Amino acid sequence: MAEYHPLPLPHRRDLSDEEALFQSEAFLNEMRQRHSVRDYSERAISEQVIANCIAAAGTAPSGANQQPWHFVAISDPAMKASVRKAAEQEEEKFYDGGAGEEWLTALEPIGTGAHKPHLSDAPWLIVVFAQRWGVAPDGTKRKHYYVPESVGLATGMLITALHKAGLVCLTHTPNPMKFLTGMCDRPDNEKPVMILAAGHAADDAMVPAAAKVKKPLDEIASFFRDES
């Protein structure tokens, strides 16, 4: 059994109150410039840039530090075309009634449909896999804890890292997406949960107006203040 061995905090960010306020406002303003984009330019992206962004995602906190994720990065045009073809087959079923009227109505202001050109146009696709359980060195199953929460944290950090690298991305979740397991040569203990299309926005890129309407702070946060 592994034992607990504490270490002194390796890194410490010690900002003044004024610096903290400045940095928080600057980051807020930067993230307000993040957009989910479906229209990509042909400009190539260095593999090292994508690798760095994935490595940043790998620093995310996770349940029992089990890091239950795997990221498959795809730039091969033939493989991207195969992903798009399989995803569009599932999307056609979704938009032909599988989703239900209420869900389709909610999607109308976003302007989505079964046609997914971004899956072949974007220079990179990053498929996010969640490891439902781990495998110990002796080959036995090892339970993972808080898998959806952990993978969600890592994916959020990946999206932020891509934005910091000057790229745009789009989250895509075909349902079902089991086809990605075999296509990406991943084991049965891993479940595909998302595709991120990543690259530079096309010169004529558009975004749905509805997607830029965000809830105000007082609708997404509550504060219980120290009044002493």
Three-class secondary structure assignment of 31-52: HCCCCECCCECCCCCCHHHHHH
- Examine residue 98 and state whether it is found in any structural domain, yes or no: yes
Query: Mean pLDDT across the stretch 29-48?
Result: 96
Q: Is the pLDDT of residue 120 over 80?
A: yes
Q: The domain spanning residue 113 has which CATH number?
A: 3.40.109.10
Of 25-29, 112-116, 196-200, least confident by mean pLDDT is 112-116
Give the helix, strand, coil percentages of the chain, each rounded to 5.
Answer: 40, 15, 40
Could you tell me the residue range of the domain that residue 111 belongs to? 37-201
Nearest to 54 by CA among 117, 123, 124: 124
Q: Given this model, what pLDDT does residue 154 score?
A: 98
- Examine residue 13 and state whether it is found in any structural domain, yes or no: no
The whole-chain average pLDDT of the chain stands at 94
Q: Given this model, what pLDDT does residue 174 score?
A: 81
Residue type, 31: M
Counted domains in the chain: 1
pLDDT, tens digit (0-9, with 9 covering 90-100), for 156-207? 999 999 999 999 999 999 888 999 999 999 999 999 999 999 999 999 999 9
pLDDT, tens digit (0-9, with 9 covering 90-100), for 50-105? 999 999 999 999 999 999 999 999 999 999 999 999 999 988 988 887 778 887 88
- Examine residue 12 and state whether it is found in any structural domain, yes or no: no
- Examine residue 114 and state whether it is found in any structural domain, yes or no: yes
Tell me the pTM: 0.94
Residue 200 DSSP code: P
- Examine residue 42 and state whether it is found in any structural domain, yes or no: yes
- Examine residue 19 and state whether it is found in any structural domain, yes or no: no
- Examine residue 91 and state whether it is found in any structural domain, yes or no: yes
